[in-house]
Chains A and B, each alone.
Chain A
Amino acid sequence: MDVVQVEGLGKTYPGGTEALKDVSFSIRKGEVFCLLGRNGAGKTTLLRILATQLRPTAGRALVLGHDVRTEPKAIRGRIAVVPQEARPQMLLSAYDHIFYYCLIRGMSRADAKAKTREVMDELDLWEHKDKMTADLSGGLRQRVIIGMALTSEPEVAFLDEPSIGLDPIGRRTVWGLVRRLTKRGVTVLLTTHYMDEAEALADRLVIIDKGRTAFLGSVEEAKSAIGAKMRVIVEPLVATNTDGREVLTPSSNEEVLAIVERSLREGRKVTFKPPSLEDVFIQLVGGSIEE
């Protein structure tokens, strides 16, 4: 069953900026679906449309079988959003944020206390419950925001770059949470800048470039789509920095041999690695995600 269906979606902002031109995909129940694209590719615009926070100007999007444009109320309350770069209120504790959001959602005080405890335990926040969020690390603050959003037990979770700025342990905590959500049957749509995150989490992904769908499929399908069997890194023998480093994706044995031969002649080191999602991204979009 498709939980999200997007057909030819477009968005032109009132000022005339065309953020999305033609994006189509669908997301199945319980899937982790990653949305990749450069800065300004339209990822957040797309996520906000699906989360009923922004009106599309073209195409159609259904979430849980309801049109985001005409039936937003039927969608709200069954979804949760972790907005990009959301920040907790610095003068309140982690506990306050989650507890009061439970109350806003209509829980009784007793239920709100129990739910807050459950969510904080799940996010390893309980030991920090009384600290003001001003005194928490960036990773813990992000977990507070995630905790606020997920107390509603959503059917679909929209996470907009939830691990941005986190250290490796913080990122893995978020990954663990995403996996636990999908085990409970929650469908997750995740935008990310990190290719390794998409590789680790995505059941399927869409790459958006210049407002259009550049690729749609699984990570493995993405890798095979570019026809590269391996990634060849050619670099100076003594690497002091990344100057002179080349990352190549040969598509035939002859090409591999030619690269090796040239590298030996130039006295450079050759390393073989399996193709990564970043290679796919670079090939499809024509630049790195950071550009």
Chain B
Amino acid sequence: MKNRLREAYFVGLFDSLPLLRDPMILVLLSMISFLPVLFTFVITGAGPVTYQAVVGAIVLSLAFTGLFSSQSVYFNKHWFRFQDILVADGISPTAYALGLSFATFIVSVPALAVALLLLVVWVHPDLVGLLFGALASIALWISMVFAGFAIGASTKNVRRANSFPQVLSFFLGFIPPVYYTLDRLPAEVRPIALLAPTTHAAQLAKHYVGLIHLGELDIIIGWAYLAIFAAIMAFIAIRKAHWTDP
């Protein structure tokens, strides 16, 4: 177990090393999910609207980077072909998957750090609320990592490997009510917004840090949706991502 965790750590470190060696790019990439917060703050100042956006930035920092595991999966298998070297070495596929997931987490750290700091300073959430808000974001991140693995393993060309996660990030991140509240949408559009897992994660996180109030049923539905989405993505990822090709 210890050896596998060590393998995972170094796989993740190696995968994220280009960004760690160039912290400016790391910060820049990480802060993409933070840009709406900046604009909201400039336009509305420090207030409820900006606080919503801060929570959205936390949720999406993790979701975006999780989704971008698809690039690591694709490039390590088809471009660099490092996966072939590691298979021959007897590295555990679980350690490899954990390592690539860990690498995505590293990329989100700068944005998470800034957003959490702002949240604590502006909103003063209690520790339990913060913890549950983080759990909702992590649940979304896990499902997005699975989705990334499924996409990366199914992608057949380098152009798709680059474009697909970006397009998906846009539709899952910037369109649904993540930076803003669900009630800003017309009532007839809300059911569509609730199809996005990012909506549920953001709603739950906002609820737990005290920015909105959700009923008990909404909370159960939110967690159930995230759990089912993660399970489906895990199922697809396991079916698609192969250590030994069929």
Contacts and interface: CB of A to CB of B under 8 A. Distances in A.
Contact of A104 (B7, B81, B84, B87): B7
A79 B86 CA distance: 10
Given A83-B85, A88-B80, A52 B244 contact: yes
B82 interface: yes
Contact of A53 (B13, B82, B245): B245
B11 interface: yes
Contacts of A145: 85
A96 B14 CA distance: 8
B88 A106 contact: no
Contacts of A87: 79-81
Contacts of A53: 84, 87-88, 244-245
Interface stretch (B16-24, B29-37, B44-52, B108-116): B16-24
Interface stretch (A69-77, A120-128, A184-192): A69-77
Contacts of B14: 96, 100-101, 104
A106 B21 CA distance: 22
A81 B80 contact: no
Interface string A77-93: 10111111111110110
Contacts of A28: none
Contact of A52 (B17, B18, B80, B88): B88
B88 A80 contact: yes
A103 B17 CA distance: 13
A100 B10 contact: yes
A104 B244 contact: no
Given A52-B244, A55-B245, A83-B81, A89 B88 contact: no
Interface string B67-84: 000000000000111101
Contacts of B80: 86-89
Interface string A42-76: 00000010011111000000000000000011001
A83 B18 contact: no
Interface in A168-225: none
Q: For chain A, what secondary structure do more than half of its interface residues adopt (helix, strand, loop), or is it mixed?
A: loop
Contact of A81 (B13, B18, B88): B88
A119 B125 CA distance: 53
Contacts of B81: 83-87
Contact of B87 (A52, A55, A85, A101): A52
Interface size bucket, B side?
20 to 34
A101 B82 CA distance: 10
A149 interface: yes
Given A52-B244, A55-B245, A103 B82 contact: no
Please tell me the size bucket of the interface on A. Answer: 35 or more
B11 A104 contact: yes
B245 A48 contact: yes
Nearest to B86: A104
A13 to B, nearest CB: 8
A100 B18 CA distance: 12
Nearest to B80: A87
A96 B17 CA distance: 9
A103 B22 CA distance: 21
A247 B22 CA distance: 56
B90 A14 contact: no
B85 A148 contact: yes
B88 A91 contact: no
A105 interface: yes
B85 A91 contact: no
Q: Closest 6 interchain pairs by CB?
A: A77-B90, A76-B90, A86-B81, A91-B18, A83-B81, A81-B88
Interface of B: 3, 6-7, 10-11, 13-14, 17-18, 21-22, 79-82, 84-91, 244-246
21 contacts: A52-B87, A52-B88, A53-B84, A55-B244, A72-B244, A73-B90, A76-B88, A80-B85, A81-B87, A81-B88, A83-B85, A86-B80, A91-B22, A92-B17, A100-B14, A101-B85, A103-B10, A103-B13, A106-B3, A145-B85, A148-B82
Given A77-B90, A87-B80, 16 more contacts: A48-B84, A53-B245, A55-B244, A80-B88, A83-B84, A85-B81, A86-B81, A86-B85, A91-B21, A92-B18, A100-B10, A104-B14, A105-B89, A106-B3, A148-B85, A149-B88
